[in-house]
Amino acid sequence: MYNKLKPNRRYILAPLLDQLLALKSRSTMSNIKVSEINKELAELTDQNLILNRLRSKGYMGSDIFMEQTNEINRKINSLRSTRRKLLEQDEDDKTIAAVKDLVAVIEDGPPVLADLDEPLFHSIVDSIMVESQDKIKFRLTGGLELAESIQRSVR
């Protein structure tokens, strides 16, 4: 797997890293959206407070109060859900760092491996999954999964 990945890293790892960085730039834009959502939530909370004051002073009937409060609460719930989804994208930073580390390890590694290099192996492979009798899948740091065929020896 390493011997295939090393010469093809610019075709596999470089595009992966570019895509992750592009995703991250979109995520930065989402941070601006989170800030806007927070402002909107504060405004809606203020509106709820004003409605409560108007109702408590007798300037607003219960039916109108409930209708408007329900509408504001619906908007608040929707905005909180959107904000939660945007904040979940921060996991991208960890993935980008892991892929950058993987690229560095592969670029600094030997041109070809003849034998298992345990430290190198542990620095680039998170796990190995058996797909079938003749196929395994390597999960590399950063989440990239690569399948590899197993050549069986004939006895």
For residue 80 the two structure tokens come to 């909180």
**pLDDT tens digits along 36-77:** 999 999 999 999 999 999 999 989 888 999 999 999 999 999
The pTM for the full model equals 0.55
For residue 141 the two structure tokens come to 């740091």
pLDDT at res. 22 = 82
pLDDT at res. 137 = 93
**Domain limits of the chain?**
2-109
Q: In whole angstroms, what is the distance from residue 135 CA to residue 147 CA?
A: 7
Place of tokens 């509408």: 71
Q: In whole angstroms, what is the distance from residue 31 CA to residue 116 CA?
A: 44
pLDDT at res. 30 = 67
Average pLDDT, the chain: 87
- Strand bridging mode 125-132 / 145-149: unpaired
- The band of 149, judged by pLDDT with boundaries at 50, 70 and 90, is confident
Is the per-residue pLDDT at 20 higher than 80? yes
Residue 59's H or E segment, with its range, is: none
